[in-house]
Amino acid sequence: MGSSILPPFLLSVLLFSLFQIPVHAAKNSYIVYLGAQPHVLDPSSVDLDSVTHSHYNLLGSVLGSNEMAQEAIFYSYNRNINGFAAILDDEEAAQIARDPNVLSVFPNRGRKLHTTRSWDFLGLEENGEVRRGSIWKKAQFGANTIIGNLDTGVWPESKSFSDEGIGPIPSKWRGICQLDTKNGSHCNRKLIGARYFSKGYLAYASTVNSSAAKTIQPNARDFGGHGSHTLSTAAGNFVPRASVFGNGNGTAKGGSPKARVAAYKVCWPPINGNECFDADIMAAFDAAISDGVDVLSVSLGGEAAEFFSDGIAIGSFHAVKKGISVVSSAGNSGPTPGTVSNVSPWLLTVGASTIDREFSSYVALGNKKHLKGASLSSGALPSKMFYPLISAVDAKAANASSSDAQLCKAGSLEKKKVEGKILVCIRGENARADKGQQAVLAGAVGMILVNDKLSGNEILADPHLLPTSHVNYSDGKAVFAYIKSTKTPVAYLTRVKTEVGAKPAPFMASFSSRGPNTIEQSILKPDITAPGVSIIAAYTGAEGPTDQKFDKRRVSFNTESGTSMSCPHVSGIVGLLKTLHPSWSPAAIKSAIMTTARKRDNNKEAMQDSSKARATPFAYGAGHVQPNRAMDPGLVYDLTTDDYLNFLCARGYNATLLKVFSNEPHTCPKAYSLADFNYPSITVPDLHDKPVTVTRRVKNVGSPGTYVVHIKEPAGVSVSVKPSSLQFKTIGEEKKFKVVLKPKAQGTQDYVFGELNWSDGKHNISLVLQSFIVYLGAHSHGPDPSSVDLDSVRKFHYDFLGSFLRSNKSAKDVIFYSYTRHINGFAAILEEEEAADIAEHPNVISVFLNKGSRLETTRSWNFLGLEGNGLIPSHSIWMKARLGEDTIIANIDTGVWPESKSFSDEGLGPVPSKWRGICQHDTKRVRCNRKLIGTRYFNNGLAMYAGPLNSSFSTARDYDGHGSHTLATAAGNFVPGVSVFGNGNGTAKGGSPRARVAAYKVCWPPYEGVQCFDADVLAAFDAAISDGVDIISVSLGGGAQEFFKNSISIGAFHAVKHGIVVVSAAGNAGPDPGTVLNLSPWLLTVGAGTIDREFTSYVSLGNKKHLKGVSLSAKGLPSEKYYPLVSAAEAKHANASTTEAIICQGGTLDPRKVKGKILVCLREYNDNARTEKSWQADMAGAVGMILVNDEQSGNDVVADPHVLLVSHVNYTDGKYIFDYIKSTKTPMAYLTRVKTELGSKPAPFVATFSSRGPNLLEQGILKPDIIAPGVSIIAAYTEAAGPTSQISDTRRVPFNVQTGSSMACPHASGIAGLLRTLHPDWSPAAIKSAIMTTATTQDDSMEPILDDSSYAKATPFAYGSGHIQPNKAIDPGLVYNLTTLDYLNFLCARGYNQTMIKSFSNSTYKCSKSFSLADFNYPSISVPNLSEDSVTINRKVTNVGSPGTYKVHVKEPSEVEVLVKPRRLKFKRIGEVKMFKVILKAKVKGKPQGYVFGELIWSDGSHYVKSPLAVKHY
């Protein structure tokens, strides 16, 4: 062969394998690889014939004739790959290997297949809604990218491959369709190609005399399910209501759901464990490259092999050379080290990890021990009772061995011993599903599958034939120990339940193959990890879900686990990146995915192995894939074909063979080493006494900027980088850097791991830096700190953080907020591990991410009784509280439009002397006055995510409208003559119209769907407390985080401690239970209800049916006549899907079908905005629109300021409209002009969107606390945006209508302002109690308040204590008061330690041993744990009214007995406090199982002090 192309050792191994000739010279199938083809991408038939003929000539020279060569060759690779596959004996193979034109000769080896909440887990969607910053939206769901899949074929009838709504096939496609047309199955515009390759399989079968090959069908149909599953994971359509036996129900979809797909069938029924042969795989690569694919997904693999002896390595090199990204699975041979396969540097190799969804079946043992297992069994136990439990060893057949029996192998179990029992089997050797089958055959009613020690904690949900629970090794030991401990062991298995939000996730799957790379240790493999456990995707209709012959069940979707499942996740993501960045090379895409990966789980801890040990890069590579971050990596490590050839040079391949390999001249550089190969990860397998220098180069693919290096050194290794900063001025600019690694001491025997990160503050290459808030509690200085005090705190923050970062300078560089006045803490850019280290410090209360919050979006004061027909009655709280005069109300929101008449200072006196705030100088000329006394803006938290901000962000001016609306609702002036397009005409005013106001802007244009960041919110609270405000209104909401990890909770505590009332929005995620936000007991949390005003537009149909809708459209119909009526589904563009057209998504409507008609659009929960639909209707030429609710939206209709006449109708009326359209060939309709209707009944009812309880953080606290008007509220607005907030809306209005708990919150804030003016000595808790205990639970028809979503009777989980009644709150009689000490006791009872609480409050504090949550003096009572015994609740009330005697009245919750002691309370003076006990006991054992509700009322005949009761059995 001339000079060696391999290192000597590798060469000797290869030659040894070729020259050991057996006695009988048996024939085998071999692949002869000759390199690259010299011809162009589209060769003629003459070119192809010429190449094939050259193959015959070459082999004929060895075999003696071209005819013999023609008989032996079964594949001629003649398009992109140059070579052939042939039946040869070993001597013939060795002889042809000596030819100088031959790169390699290797056996046609067999390979194995490596066998959807996942996209939600990866951040592409949230609760079924595509997030605004999702790569799905930006990459158009991968539209028209072509993804090929080398696997078992495809099941074309699956809905995942339907072409409904998909346009023409891309013109670049050159492939064919080889499906079984006799069954009527063809390719389509989604599934654009299918091929099969079986010659290599058949050749192998002939050499081993296997009969398996005789049963295969010559087409690309998938009879195994694996190929359909992987292909749909990569690029399957959106398919709603997908589940496996009712579990995991949701919408199935692939990573690139709008991509086109092509199936290349290379895998067939196993022969000796092998399914997919190299000869077929190479033929598939050769075809796919010519067909025009963009991405190839290859969920196959075998043992790692030298690159020129590996069919996948060779095929993928030629694909990558043509710009095709190739993604492969890492293998399922873990957790053993060195098992990773597909190790070529041009491949993107994917390991497997878990997601946060589990399919759980719990094991209940007779000793009351409960163990969590996994399963996807289709059935449940016959009865809800305990069954006898038996170990498979104890149930063995007489002639079976114990070792076979414990594994539940076929024929090893005795039916008489098993029948009617739950059988315990150990995992191993035979398939998990086969063990279930053996249990069924033996008569078991259920099975517990127990892991062996090697399998550890890795449990898998399989679709077993009988009820099964798969438990981990330690729980399995507990099961066996229990069986041995008793003569009559029994157990019960719960029905399978889908559980979402599991923690920790991800962790590495035990089966996922591990590094190091045994072929080239300097290349770290795997490259990345992705979801690969219990993945639901499309399946074949030819096999049962267990893939066992005995399984006759059929499913459209199935769950599978393996790196085969993780590979197509990344393939789908690569498809999105191809769509988004078509000019990026495969290496650039790979780099973007690797350098933006994360290594933390959803507990913010380091990722673990299934053994719960900390995982390493040999398990996860660069980390867990983050698709949204990969869109904009900042820098990439790019590689060209020359780089790969240089890599092979450094590996020992000679230039002559490399030229043949690439079909281009290539000279090996003399100085090149593997340390110079520009891979995104760095592996140094040979660090000895001398330093090792690694060279890398990065290319800028983002905005200009300066990147600074951050290093996390491996243990015992010194790392330096030169230069330490890189400045980029243009896109495409490249910079080099060197990494010098030096051992600190001798003797490092094993791999150690570190990290290198380049960051410009926004992009973090390799390591994710994030902004965190470090919360240290309260300050020791007084309420008016001096500048020296503030500087001292700031210096302490630098010193403290500097102790972790090694210098104060580093701390100063990363801290962007130092909270110095009332809140003690700082916000800084940190690595996750740095944040975790800081969190361990004893002086730190909490460390949490600078998360984002969302904004939660006036006849109302008349409806609340503060005025009547424009006149203020004498008993009104407005009259008594002087309209909130000189109370200061702060609003943390989007800022303020200062020119609004709502904030004019006409007629107001001087600014109150207690005010210490400022009117922050800004770039947009915001001016304060005697009404609007202060403005500030906070945007450092946003900047940490979005990057440097320009001067337009240096302002408190409101460009959104939300902040002006909420502030005016709380405390706007009386402004007469206000309307929205002539509707709702009247006088606008806030709850405290004579109060002073201050705007704290923390919310900005959305960044990745988030507008308000925690760090900014906390800074606003700190400033507002110092400024001297009385009320803080916060119409924002994030998640339900623990109290010390939530900026609103922390800021509100410090405010309440200083006597400031904080009012917050409950959220807009209703009507789902458990969605309520802002859960801290010191917050007043407000849900949304309706008022008795409606903006109506009636729909008149051609059949004379009249339906009531709502709207605030500015226009009427062009003429008072009936217009043609058309459903949006029937008006769709030819290339649009029906599902998108029916909701009137952008670009889906055909103007020819819409023009001059009234269009009917469907509103789906969390789809495109309601006003966006009317924009689409208007652009398509509609004269009007009817907006119809889906079933989930129910009766929740909203009056929006549409651009054309619209009527929004409920679900029932919408169904009627669709039925009418179907009933006639000429449907017609008319819409009346919008009319304002007052006095509507019933009102209030709870708005559908208003978030509901229970409180998921602490069920002993009922939330929301109250409801207030939040639907169709008119208030001040910005004049920088149109009333719909759509960019295309050029209309401007000084007042606008908005809906949301954001609107309800400032109603309560305004009322709190009135109570503060009237009762300046009342604590925030007393004001809150007065509002809650005087609320009403009846509507204006004197019936119980209804739930808008269903018209059913609402519960306290919807309305809290009820609907707010301001005039009653003036004089509540009694209040449930709370002090700071009470809140600290509450935290003690929650499990916080007293050291932490002392820091929180900055006061001496000792946890009370006797205090429990039942003693916390909250105005409502929630008992989530009513046990077999009674529960006693302690409360105390303070008299704030006249002396008198109060008697108790109880409305008992169903099935609960309630006793109050004493039943009378006598008060002689104001301020007197009395205690009472409430004893609750279940009337029936074990009930109530769900929450039931009641009410406790103290009354003296004049006052009615009401507390809701919510009770559930534990």
Name residues whose C-beta falls within 8 Å of residue 1319's C-beta, 6 or more positions apart in sequence: 1326, 1327, 1440
What is the rounded CA–CA span in Å between residue 396 and residue 349? 43
What is the rounded CA–CA span in Å between residue 560 and residue 538? 10
What is the rounded CA–CA span in Å between residue 1245 and residue 1237? 17
What is the rounded CA–CA span in Å between residue 118 and residue 113? 21
Q: Quick check: 1295 and 1276 in contact, CB under 8 A?
A: yes
Q: Quick check: 200 and 110 in contact, CB under 8 A?
A: no
H or E element in which residue 1131 lies:
none
Q: In this structure, how many other beta carbons lie within 10 angstroms of the beta carbon of residue 176? A: 13
Amino acid at 358: E
**Residue 1513 known to be catalytic:** no
Burial 851-866 (b: 16+ CB within 10 A, else e): bbbbbbbbbbbbbbbb
10 Å CB burial of residue 396 (0-12, 13-18, 19+) is buried
What is the rounded CA–CA span in Å between residue 77 and residue 278? 12
The secondary structure of residue 495, as a DSSP letter, is P
Q: Quick check: 811 and 774 in contact, CB under 8 A?
A: no
Q: Quick check: 863 and 1091 in contact, CB under 8 A?
A: yes
Strands 274-277 and 717-722 turn out to be unpaired
Name residues whose C-beta falls within 8 Å of residue 637's C-beta, 6 or more positions apart in sequence: 587, 591, 595, 678, 679, 680, 696, 697, 698, 699
Burial 235-258 (b: 16+ CB within 10 A, else e): bbbbbeebbbbebbebbbbbbbbb
Q: Quick check: 160 and 239 in contact, CB under 8 A?
A: yes
What is the rounded CA–CA span in Å between residue 120 and residue 109? 38
CA 592 to chain centre: 20
Return the residue matching tokens 């072409």: 163
**Residue 185 known to be catalytic:** no
Return the residue matching tokens 């999105």: 576
Amino acid at 1347: D
List, in sequence order, every beta strand (DSSP E) within 1102-1226. 1106-1110, 1123-1127, 1158-1163, 1184-1189, 1205-1209
- Cα 1283 to Cα 935, 966, 1122, 1202, 1380, distances in angstroms: 24, 15, 28, 8, 43
The secondary structure of residue 223, as a DSSP letter, is S
Q: What one-character-per-residue DSSP string does 573-600 give? A: HHHHHHHH-TT--HHHHHHHHHHT-B-B
Question: Exactly one of 29, 120, 134, 151 is catalytic; which is it?
Answer: 151
Q: Quick check: 231 and 154 in contact, CB under 8 A?
A: yes
Question: Exactly one of 114, 226, 797, 1307 is catalytic; which is it?
Answer: 226
Q: Where are the alpha helices (DSSP H) in 40-139?
A: 45-63, 66-72, 90-97, 118-121, 135-138
Q: Quick check: 1419 and 1436 in contact, CB under 8 A?
A: no
Q: Quick check: 197 and 178 in contact, CB under 8 A?
A: no
Query: Residue 1067 has which token pair?
Result: 């959220």
Nearest Cα to 1312, choosing from 955, 1032, 1013? 1032
Q: Quick check: 89 and 59 in contact, CB under 8 A?
A: no
Torsion of CA 1033, 1037, 1040, 1043, to 10 degrees: -40
Question: Exactly one of 329, 564, 759, 1111 is catalytic; which is it?
Answer: 564
Q: Quick check: 1109 and 1207 in contact, CB under 8 A?
A: yes
**Residue 226 known to be catalytic:** yes
Q: Where are the alpha helices (DSSP H) in 641-757?
A: 641-650, 655-662
Q: Quick check: 387 and 492 in contact, CB under 8 A?
A: yes
State the catalytic residues.
151, 226, 564
